[in-house]
């Protein structure tokens, strides 16, 4: 059973979230301040819901402190948020935001998505291979017969997503989500251009087409 740590100084909010998440099958831990939250890290939560406006320590600073102890997903629960707040939160180690007031169903969906992604990352292989192609996920490098193929960060994210889900067809929106994250902001149409560049680089180095277009649907890794 997954454990979720809820850090919020509003007791009613904490009780509401605990009741809902327990109904969803999660074990919950609750903290009303930073000191209690840090003490509960020894229980090894699988995900943390963190309010930003805390009485004794700013939620962003608390997130930084948590990150020195644990690597699980952290979702911020702000009452209001600016673009700079989002940037700061991600830089401090947060993974996602959901602004109050929010739908409990949406919160549950985001929690489940982050837990799935975290579970996959813990069990994924460090190296992927495909017909002469070697992809090192730790070094984020791609090579063929000892020659490295240069990819941008976004290109590598898409390449990794398609390879780890080989022979599954994904539309542009799902590839965008898989490469950029559940709550990514931007235009999924950039995926088409990234896929074109990935194909071109792979074909130039290997002479092979690894990514197949499924017309009217999307793309899949077919090797």
Measure the CA–CA gap between 116 and 207, rounded to whole angstroms.
Answer: 35
> What sign for the dihedral angle of Cα 169, 179, 72, 96?
negative
pLDDT < 70 regions, the chain: 120-125, 179-189
Radius of gyration of the chain (CA): 20
Let me know whether 142 and 32 are in one domain.
no
Residue-wise pLDDT tens digits, 143-199: 998 899 999 888 888 998 899 888 899 988 888 877 665 444 445 668 888 999 999
pLDDT of res. 186: 47
Given 122, 143, 167, the domain boundary residue is 122
pLDDT of res. 124: 62
3 state SS of 14: helix
Given 71, 99, 122, the domain boundary residue is 122
Q: What is the CATH number of the domain that holds 170?
A: 1.10.10.10
Backbone angles phi, psi at 166, to 5 degrees: -55, 140
CA atoms within a 13 Å half-sphere pointing along the CA-CB vector of 73: 25
DSSP one-letter code for 162:
H
- Domain total for the chain? 2
Q: What is the CATH number of the domain that holds 75?
A: 3.40.50.2300
For the chain, the 3-state helix, strand and coil shares in percent, each to the nearest 5, are 45, 20, 35
Given 91, 122, 153, the domain boundary residue is 122
Write down the pTM of the prediction: 0.59
CA 84 to chain centre: 20
Q: Are 72 and 122 in contact (CB under 8 A)?
A: no
CA angle centred on 126, ends 120 and 128, rounded to 5°? 95
Residue span of the structural domain in which 87 resides: 3-122
pLDDT of res. 29: 97
Let me know whether 7 and 109 are in one domain.
yes
Let me know whether 13 and 55 are in one domain.
yes
Measure the CA–CA gap between 132 and 177, rounded to whole angstroms.
Answer: 28
Measure the CA–CA gap between 74 and 80, rounded to whole angstroms.
Answer: 17
Let me know whether 114 and 179 are in one domain.
no
Measure the CA–CA gap between 129 and 161, rounded to whole angstroms.
Answer: 14
CA atoms within a 13 Å half-sphere pointing along the CA-CB vector of 43: 20
CA angle centred on 196, ends 190 and 201, rounded to 5°? 130
């Amino acid at each position: 059973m997954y454990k979720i740590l809820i850090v919020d100084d509003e007791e009613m909010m904490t009780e509401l979230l605990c009741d809902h998440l327990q109904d969803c099958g999660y074990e919950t831990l609750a903290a009303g301040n930073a000191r209690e939250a840090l003490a509960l890290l020894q229980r090894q939560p699988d995900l943390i819901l963190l309010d930003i406006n805390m009485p004794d320590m700013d939620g962003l600073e608390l997130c930084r402190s948590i990150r020195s102890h644990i690597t699980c997903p952290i979702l911020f629960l702000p009452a209001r948020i600016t673009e700079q707040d989002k940037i700061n939160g991600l830089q401090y180690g947060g993974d996602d935001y959901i602004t109050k007031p929010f739908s409990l169903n949406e919160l549950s969906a985001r929690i489940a998505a982050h837990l799935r992604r975290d579970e996959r990352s813990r069990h994924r292989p460090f190296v992927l291979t495909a017909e002469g192609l070697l992809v090192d996920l730790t070094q984020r490098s791609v090579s063929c017969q000892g020659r490295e193929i240069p990819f941008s960060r976004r290109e590598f994210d898409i390449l990794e997503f398609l390879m780890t889900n080989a022979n599954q067809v994904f539309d542009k929106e799902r590839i965008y989500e898989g490469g950029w994250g559940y709550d990514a902001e931007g235009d999924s149409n950039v995926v088409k251009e990234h896929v074109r560049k990935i194909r071109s680089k792979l074909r130039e180095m290997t002479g092979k087409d690894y990514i197949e277009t499924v017309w009217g649907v999307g793309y899949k890794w077919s090797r």
